[in-house]
Amino acid sequence: MGRFTQYPAASKGDYADATTFLIANSDGDIKEATLEGLRDIFGSGVQSTSLTIASADVLQLNSTPLTIVAAQGAGTYIEVISAFVVIDFNSAAYATNTTIELIFSGAPDKIMASSINASVSKAVTFTKQVSGTAGNTQMIANTDLQVSVSSGNPTAGDSDIEVFVLYRVIS
């Protein structure tokens, strides 16, 4: 069997869902496969994303939530597996309304929360939240997953943050 050493190495940008490659099945038959298929079969469709939020946008995160994962289509849910926030501390801590949350657009209850209260650069995990009442929901089909803060906009802070989310889409 030939070797592929004469080809250049793939870079991170080369790996997209439509990326194709050759595999040999257990019968020795050569087949074309896709990265999307490999991920769906062996990775349970797990995906990751991140969002860098400049300090000016953090200061209005309650009144202007930011989308980190766009709605995925009719009949689909975005299941958040884990998340964390990295705070690149500048010179002033956020003083109020420092609970950062992941929430679905239009849902009354957040699904995960953490804190952006920091006086040093740090990384903090989000914790899963329990839905507050019997009549509320955390997840709504075909809606954006957003980053927001509870209660009101933060004050006084000047640090950029980055939110990382590990998720999968459920149909």
Q: How much is the mean pLDDT over the chain? A: 91
CA–CA gap between residue 124 and residue 15 (Å, rounded): 28
Residue 25 confidence (pLDDT): 84
Higher confidence at residue 40 or residue 99? 99
Residue 13 confidence (pLDDT): 81
**Tokens found for residue 71:** 């709605």
Give a yes or no: residue 65 inside a domain.
Answer: yes
Provide the Cα torsion 112, 131, 138, 61; round to 10°.
-50
Our count of domains for the chain comes to: 2
CB atoms within 10 A of CB 80: 21
| Same domain, yes or no: 108 and 30 | no
Residue linked to tokens 């087949």? 31
pLDDT in tens, 3-12: 667 778 888 8
Q: Report the predicted TM-score, pTM, of the whole model to 2 decimal places.
A: 0.81
| Same domain, yes or no: 86 and 165 | yes
Helix, strand or coil for residue 42? helix
What's the domain range around 19? 12-42
| Same domain, yes or no: 79 and 19 | no
Among 96, 78, 107, 80, smallest CA distance to 170 is for 78
Give a yes or no: residue 160 inside a domain.
Answer: yes
pLDDT in tens, 128-163: 998 767 888 899 999 999 999 988 999 999 999 999
Can you tell me the mean pLDDT for 50-67? 97
pLDDT in tens, 107-132: 999 999 999 999 999 999 999 998 76
CA–CA gap between residue 72 and residue 143 (Å, rounded): 7
| Same domain, yes or no: 131 and 66 | yes
